[in-house]
Amino acid sequence: MLVLDLAGVDGRQAFMDRCVVDLRLPDWFSRNWDGLADCLTDLSWWPPEPGGRQLRLRNWQGFAAEMPREWRILKDILRDAEIFWRHTDTELLVVVEEGYPGTEQEARNVRP
């Protein structure tokens, strides 16, 4: 499982920098939206995990409020990546955390 924590991310470049660190993206990541989409549809850099891969998105609310256009782009990329890997033996599950761990409202999936 990988966790992308958006706490304190205040711009697109800061977001891309956070992706590099939190997701441990490969050197060929071009630090743009197309590059993120490429990384999430070529998971050669992320070894398969038992039960599939899971990406959890935390503390996204401030990013979404401050950068609504970028938030929509990110949601689209994550949804498309999930669809791309659906029905494979290395499925990708993206979970957007809503509340606090252990609560009923902890997370929701980005699937359509």
Contact 85, 91 (CB under 8 A): yes
pLDDT of residue 106: 42
59 pLDDT more than 80: yes
**Contact between 66 and 10 (Cβ < 8 Å):** yes
Is there a contact between 42 and 35 (Cβ–Cβ < 8 Å)? Answer: no
C-alpha–C-alpha distance, residues 2 and 54, integer Å? 6
Place of tokens 């590059």: 35
> Rg of the chain over CA atoms, in angstroms?
13
What is the architecture, at CATH level 2, of domain 2-109?
2-Layer Sandwich (3.30)
Q: What is the pLDDT of residues 74-90, one digit of tens each?
A: 999 999 999 999 988 88
* 31: amino acid identity, one letter: R
Domain range annotation of the chain: 2-109
Q: Write out the two tokens for 10.
A: 């205040």
Q: What is the pTM of this model?
A: 0.84
